[in-house]
Amino acid sequence: MRPCPRSLFDLVTNGGIAIALHFERAPFITQEHTLWLPWGRFFVMDTIVMRHEENDIPSCDLSSFTRPSPMVSPAPLTAFAGSCSERGTVVPEIQSLQEEVPIPGTDMKLAYLSSRTPGYKSILRVTLTHTTIPFNLMKVHLMVAVEGRLFRKWFPAAPNLSYDFVWDKADVYSQKVYGLSEAFVSVGFEYESCPDLILWEKRTAVLQGYETTASKLGGWTVDKHHALNIQSGEGVNFLIANKLLLKGRSRNTERRTLGYTCH
């Protein structure tokens, strides 16, 4: 366990199990929390509040208040890019540029996709409120946890609130993250008549980290040089985690192949 500033801590443990954590500090009552931990992932716990009394009576009843109904819209995955000549050089779904240059004397091409550059980040749009907001709503809280990093922000209540969360594809230790990552989004409503008590709703979304590139050619790749997760050289990503599998036949033997079509 490595203590962190602001009463935070890191705990390394096996994944795929449930663990029980005991929190003790005088003069507060001991608390126990049981958590299910996923395999090979960071898990950010909810904030633990220590209390003096076993049954802490709330200052107001939140059951009559409207809960948030957030919407999360992650940027499309880069499977939209690829060797579809009719698409042109602009890939609007991922706001990227692509280019192919034939290599003279060969049947190969050099391929470029701007989403592979280090400065390209993953964006998650969070819709916090809609056209009308509940009466007496004072603040809207937002928390996003991804790869052990926790982002917090609050906004004065207003209709049609949204926020674009930008992830730099790094984990809590500033290490590059490859492949897909799950972001945990929490949106909370705080009412004027119930200050400091927040109604939370949670959502999840998939964000894309760095891509595994087969060719290290200053941002360019060779279209015949492929790499897993599976990424073909011309820029098509076959995301095995999403099971984008199609049935195909080869030499009268049915097999399952990775498929992609230009749409």
- 66-78 pLDDT tens trace: 999 999 999 887 7
Query: Which has the higher per-residue pLDDT, 180 or 248?
Result: 180
Per-residue pLDDT tens digits for 6-31: 567 788 888 888 888 888 888 888 88
- For residue 150, what are the CA distances in angstroms to 13, 75, 205? 19, 20, 15
How many residues does the structure list for the chain?
263
Confidence at residue 253, expressed as pLDDT on a 0 to 100 scale: 40
Whole-angstrom distance, CA of residue 202 vs CA of residue 126: 11
Per-residue pLDDT tens digits for 185-207: 999 999 998 887 899 999 999 99
Per-residue pLDDT tens digits for 50-103: 877 776 666 677 778 999 999 999 988 776 565 565 667 887 777 888 888 889
Confidence (pTM): 0.74
Structure confidence at residue 235 as a pLDDT band (50, 70, 90): low
Confidence at residue 149, expressed as pLDDT on a 0 to 100 scale: 93
Confidence at residue 238, expressed as pLDDT on a 0 to 100 scale: 60
Residues sharing a CB contact under 8 Å with residue 218, sequence separation 6 or more, in sequence order: none
Calculate the CA dihedral of residues 30, 35, 40, 44 and round it to 10 degrees.
-70
Whole-angstrom distance, CA of residue 221 vs CA of residue 104: 15
Span of 28-37, 183-192, 237-246 with lowest mean pLDDT? 237-246
- For residue 86, what are the CA distances in angstroms to 82, 83, 226, 262? 11, 9, 22, 9
Element (DSSP H or E) covering residue 88: none
Span of 23-27, 166-170, 196-200, 245-249 with lowest mean pLDDT? 245-249
Give the mean model confidence (pLDDT) for residues 156-162: 97
Read out DSSP for 180-248? EEEEEEEEEEEETTSTT-EEEEEEEEEEE-B---S--BTTEEETT--BTTTB-TTS-B--GGGT-EEEE
pLDDT of 231 strictly over 80: no
Q: Which two tokens stand for residue 77?
A: 């995955």
